[in-house]
Amino acid sequence: MPRSGALKVHLPFNLTPWSDKAKYIYVTRNPKDCCVSYYHHMKNIPGHGFKGTFDQFFELIKWNSGKIDYEDYFDHCLRLFVELSGLY
């Protein structure tokens, strides 16, 4: 079976394997959508079980971005911008 030529990953850009022969499409979501999705994820996953309101959750992640389970959204996007700036 021939290769599909596509690889979908959720890795930060700096951890994604690089090839000069490949073409890359980087898709990002609206930060508001990411925040709401993360809130529901943390409420519904056993072990996380966040019990507060969305407003409480937002305050928690706003001031503790370095202490959350996943990378800060804006740090993630900024890393890509910095990496690409060096390529061109």
Q: Which of 10, 40, 48, 76 is catalytic?
A: 10
Structure tokens at 46: 């056993």
- For 7-34, write each residue's pLDDT tens digit: 788 777 778 888 888 888 888 889 899 8
Tell me whether residue 10 is one of the annotated catalytic residues.
yes
| Cut 0.85: pTM above it | no
Q: How far apart are CA 26 and CA 50, in angstroms?
A: 30
How many C-beta atoms surround the C-beta of residue 87 within 10 A? 7
Cα gap 77→34, rounded to integer Å: 13
For residue 57, give every residue at least 6 positions away whose Cβ sits within 8 Å of its Cβ, in sequence order, or none. 39, 42, 50
Of all helices (H) and strands (E), which one includes residue 57? Answer: helix 54-63
* Per-residue pLDDT, 65: 59
- Taking only the tens place, the pLDDT of each residue in 42-66 is 888 888 778 889 999 888 877 665 5
